[in-house]
A and B are shown apart, each in its own frame.
Chain A
Amino acid sequence: MSNMPTPRQQSLRTVLFWAVPAALLFLPLATNAYTQFIVNGMLISVLVTLGFSLVIGNLGQLAFANTAFFGIGAYASAILSAKLGIPWILTVPLAGAFGALGGFLASVAALRGIRSYYLAIITLAFGELMRWAYLHAKPLTGGTDGMPMPRETMFGISLSDDTLKFYIFLAVTVLLVKGTLNLMRSRFGRAVMAVRENEIATASLAIPTARVILATFAWSGLVVGCAGALFARHVGHVFPESFGMLQLIASFAMVLVGGLGSVLGAVLGAVLLTALPEYLRAFPGMEELFFGLIVAAVLVAMPRGLASLLRRLSPVFTERYYREGA
């Protein structure tokens, strides 16, 4: 019946959590510039998927505003760097704040009783509206030409350096994943799931459901907004097209392949689906076909995503929504 980790497995989990980023610290020594660029993009995808999964998986709301949060973060970073001369690294938390604001706006729809397919449509419209704004607010966003990120150095190294970017992206990703895990393994994480399972019963337990919904959307927006700021620096030039339906579908696939509502799943889904197209380049002309087939195969074999496979292998990967000890 029980699939819970023993204390030893819990310590192993903690070791694993820190071992992965620790090992990644050495990655730039073992890789070439191209792979480094791909891995940097992977870290961004991890954050985008994590924020998305939180809302559609844990909170159970069919909200697709994550592309909007991503764009808001990227444009906030670009505008603050280029127009106001704020050092890029400082625009990362600011982009997170703008993303959180976007999340707050999206939650207003859910809180006004717009749910299910209606919430899906209205949040999709929000994303398209933002894209329209990037295209038409030309003096601010550069319109179709987009916005180049200004040249900048940190510690005397140019911010176009992928190794430097990697360490910054890794630090931001680890911080946000750890913060999200802290939130999930607490009364907040339980309340988020409770709203998904039975909102009426949740309120009867003295849980302010409206505040829980608002906070979940805002945190999701913050995580994805920060990812937007990283993305702006990653590609060096922000275009409206980066924040359309393709981006949305890609992150939706990452959420599902990894496992809805699982932090581990968000990481796995993002890593696999970012890496996969690179391997498929060996089959020119067949890339999309293979990509689609692999995604479909994973979902048919594991409807609960890659995370469920790991859970079956060992209780070390069982996700709990409480925290006993440190």
Chain B
Amino acid sequence: MTLLLETTGLSVRFSGLTALDGVSFRLDEGQVRAVIGPNGAGKSTLFNAISGYVTPTSGSVLLKGEELTKLSPHEIAEKGIRRTFQNGGLFPELTVLENVLTGLHAQTEGSFLDILLGRAKAIESEAAMIAKARDLLKLMSMDHMADARAGDLSGGQQRIVEIVRTVASDPPVLLLDEPAVGLSPVARAQMMEIIQRLAGEKGVGILLIEHAVELVMAAADRILVMAAGARIAEGTPAEIREDRAVLEAYLGHA
């Protein structure tokens, strides 16, 4: 297994409160790793620390051995860690196609001046990106919605478009923050299938926050369990099911 993402002793403290307490884990190519834990366990802080929205107090984040800890969110995204947001991060006033194109921003060639003057380099690259975005939408059977305003889509469709936008640049690592929240049971199953396909077929390493334990048990290769900012268990779904600490802290029965 090729190691993609690794955190070592990652900690985040906000004036006296320890939101993340020395969390270490690794994520391999093609692996789906779920992060579970009760509210306030530090799951979102972990995501924010990895993606640069919160500066870690100590510890480090490494992508393929490269230190990312001090970089800003857009730099980390450019290095290849892309994420979604719990509350949905689509741009509602842009169309579905335009949303997917924003995911290809760094891949689109042409300087500000090339774009301003309408030079061939910028126009050709733009056309290539549009073709790619349309292909990706087609792959998810969303091509018929390309020109719809993103805000007009159903919740499930919005989640799917956000995933398309996030994977458009072929990032090696994906952080998905509750991608199935608020979806119907059918849409949830569909979402889990998409996630497994991305990992299995494209080798994307996926870190997944999800509350629905049964979905997690079915979809994840490995699970990281957190409570009060710290890692309390780590293992395969079968191992986690049997773990005493998890049963006590998270599942609420010993």
* Chain A residues proximal to chain B, CB less than 8 Å: 1-4, 178-179, 182-183, 186-188, 190-191, 193-194, 196-198, 200-209, 215, 320-326
Contacts and interface: CB of A to CB of B under 8 A. Distances in A.
Contact of B101 (A190, A204, A215): A190
Interface string B155-182: 0000000000110010000000000000
A204 B105 CA distance: 11
Contacts of A182: 115-118
B105 A206 contact: yes
Given A200-B73, A207-B74, A323-B127, 20 more contacts: A1-B147, A2-B147, A4-B147, A182-B117, A183-B112, A187-B101, A190-B94, A190-B98, A190-B105, A193-B98, A194-B91, A194-B102, A196-B93, A197-B91, A203-B74, A203-B77, A206-B105, A206-B106, A208-B74, A322-B101
Given A191-B105, A322-B101, A204 B83 contact: yes
Interface in B95-119: 95, 97-98, 101-106, 108, 110, 112, 115-118
A198 B84 CA distance: 12
B75 to A, nearest CB: 8
Given A190-B102, A322-B126, A201 B91 contact: yes
Given A191-B105, A194-B94, A323 B116 contact: no
B85 interface: yes
A139 B74 CA distance: 47
Most B C-beta atoms less than 10 A away, residue of A178, A186, A203, A215: A186
Interface in B107-137: 108, 110, 112, 115-118, 122-123, 126-127, 129-130
B33 interface: no
B98 A322 contact: yes
B148 A1 contact: yes
B92 A197 contact: yes
Given A191-B105, A202-B102, A325 B77 contact: no
Contacts of B75: 206
- Which size bracket describes the interface of B in this complex? 35 or more
A194 B101 CA distance: 11
Nearest to B119: A182
B78 interface: yes
A197 B94 CA distance: 9
A43 B94 CA distance: 29
Given A203-B72, A205-B77, A323 B106 contact: no
A62 B76 CA distance: 29
Contacts of A193: 91, 93-94, 98
Nearest to A325: B127
Contacts of A321: 94-95, 98
B123 A1 contact: no
A205 B105 contact: yes
29 contacts: A1-B152, A2-B147, A179-B117, A182-B115, A183-B115, A187-B126, A187-B129, A191-B102, A193-B93, A193-B94, A194-B91, A196-B93, A197-B91, A197-B92, A198-B90, A198-B91, A200-B85, A201-B91, A204-B51, A204-B166, A205-B74, A205-B106, A206-B105, A207-B74, A207-B102, A208-B74, A321-B95, A322-B101, A323-B123
